[in-house]
Structure 1
Amino acid sequence: MERNIARIALFAALIAALGFLPAVTLGFGVPITAQSLAVMLCGTVLGAKRGALAVLLFLALVALGLPLLAGGRGGLGVFASPTVGFLVGFPIAAFTTGLIVERWKGPLPLVASVASIIGGVVVLYVFGAMGLALMLGKTFPEAALLVTAFIPGDIIKAVLAGGITSGLAKARPDSLLSRA
């Protein structure tokens, strides 16, 4: 139990740490950031439930006002911005990614990469596009078209998540809770 709590907190801290890497904010108010890589890793390493809990802990800290999002943003105001769909989608993306890794017993680098694409890209984009449509007054197809700007970088992040997860499994097999 205590180890689970520590790992959840550690991965919440990882999401926060990747928010300190320089972000590029696009014209419609959503930054390109490394935090989605950490969300993918929450699922691939911790599994569905623990991964989602790590992201929820991170979002709770953001809601309390800690400036943990890319660009030093935090507070309840971020949940009324164009990024709201992505923030709401973060825990669902981590859960989906983790569920796929837990259930699909294929080669880990492939499974973790595909799970990251499905959960950390496809699922996250659906929520992100819904948030953009709501906040920017656009239709869902218009918002979905805006989100396509993130595809190349997020595919790279998904492959990185697969490689990092596989490397972690080789170096410390007991730390990969998604395959426990």
Structure 2
Amino acid sequence: MSIRHLVYTALFAALFVAMSAVTIPLGFSPVPITLQNFALMLAGAFLGARYGFLSIGIVVALVALGLPLLHGQGGIGYIKGGTGGFILMFPICTLAVGYFTGKLFKSNIRRQSPVLFYFLLFLSFEVFGSLLSYVGGVPWLAAVYNWPFSKAMALGAYPYLAGDAAKAVVATVVTGALQAYVPVWKRKSSSQLTGLPAAADN
């Protein structure tokens, strides 16, 4: 890992921790509203699959070791709690976001159809940055509280879907506005300008 990769990986890990401090508890559910998945959307888009996964994975590993980095809490006991399934899914979500947005930025869609490009970018954030987390989070929630799956969906998924979509919209706007700093976009642009082959995706 280069110094630049190390710095950016650490910066997005810090952003993820900072976003976790923005917490709105809901009295009817053990799952609070946070900006964690917004942070992982940006980490995936700007770091790519490998370093995005590493950035968020480091935070999750440190939390498991006992550091109070998420909502001021940490430790194996916290990971085993009701939101543990979501926490463990976060690095996987970041990996998926990084992979699919990377493919999107390296395609010709951005130039051929900007509207389609932004729609697919939003879809990548929504599906892989938000909805994918429920694949592990909801069954985990049901198991911890001994709830039927329908109740876990009602209390751990449905109330958050509108907010997830809003965060995906904002992530799309931010990524689109700062797309010159997306690594795969910069590599492809510079290779086109110089005529040199693009570097392999990190």
TM-score w.r.t. structure 2 length? 0.80
Q: What letter corresponds to residue 98 of structure 1 in structure 2?
A: G
| Residue segments in structure 2 that go unaligned for 5+ positions in a row | 111-116, 188-202
Match of 2:191 in 1: none
Match of 2:42 in 1: 41
Which of 174, 177, 180 pairs up with 2:183? 177
Which runs of structure 2 are paired with 1:1-180 in the superposition (5 Å)? Answer: 1-70=2-71, 72-104=72-104, 105=107, 106-107=109-110, 109-146=118-155, 147-169=157-179, 173=180, 175-179=181-185, 180=187
| Residue segments in structure 1 that go unaligned for 5+ positions in a row | none
Deviations 1:146-168 (A, max 9, x none): 21111011100011111111112
TM-score w.r.t. structure 1 length? 0.89
Deviations 1:104-161 (A, max 9, x none): 2333533332111110122111111121111111233332232111101110001111
Aligned length, in residue pairs: 175
Q: Distance in 2 between matches of 1:112 and 1:50?
A: 19
Q: Distance in 1 between matches of 2:18 and 2:184?
A: 22
Percent identity, aligned pairs only?
34
Q: Which stretch shifts more, 16-25 or 91-100?
A: 16-25
Q: Distance in 1 between matches of 2:35 and 2:150?
A: 25
The alignment's C-alpha RMSD in Å is 1.7
Q: Distance in 1 between matches of 2:30 and 2:37?
A: 16
* Structure 1 residue 11: Cα displacement: 0.5
Say whether the 8 Å CA contact 1:15–1:39 is kept in structure 2. Answer: yes
